Amino acid sequence: MANLGTLCPRHCFLLAVLLLSLSVQTKVLSYQYKVGDLNAWGIPSSSNPQIYAKWSKYHTFGIGDSLLFLYPPSQDSVIQVKAESYNSCNLKDPILYMNNGNSLFNITAEGEYFFTSGKPGHCEQRQRLHILAGNVTATAFAPSDGPSALSDSSAPSYPTVFGTIPAPPSSSPSSPLSVSVVSTIGFVVCALIGGTM
């Protein structure tokens, strides 16, 4: 049977790496956002015509997040379009067409995403959504829907269905103290086992 003292010098580094990898706390968070925090994706009311522009302004989207569009499939749909089509409400040649009433769009890359209703006339009535995912800046807002068209109030001016708006995940790394403590313990254990056996 092998002696632990002879194994430790050869495998001490591997043991330390294993302990280090076990101690690192990776925070993987993704959110599923109900578009507009509404019960249905539809034409905005006259009392709040910029609900989708306001909603996207007060949310932070990242890779792994998803957008849930809810609507009666017999009455509406959602399409992903290019910036030019978004600004002109051109429904021809969408990037993606969803019409099942429970449409989930997964964000897989940083960038700008543009959505509108697939029904003629709905986009012109501001049933459209522009979001930024990741560390990007807006480049293609229509003047009536852009950040300059929205006031910089401190909170959204629409009711939310599920209470408060989810806070974006913290970008702070895991505690360096816990990583160094576990690493130190691993090296001390290896040194003790290697020195006594």
pLDDT means per 10 residues in the chain (197 residues)? 53 61 61 90 93 93 95 95 96 96 95 96 96 83 48 42 41 44 65 61
DSSP-assigned letters across all residues of 32-84: EEEGGGSSS--PPPTT-TTHHHHHHHT--B-TT-EEEEE--TTT--EEEE-HH
Q: How many CB atoms lie within 10 A of CB 73?
A: 12
Which 3 state secondary structure label does DSSP give 116?
A: strand
Q: Is the pTM of this model over 0.75?
A: no
The 3-state DSSP class for residue 147 equals helix
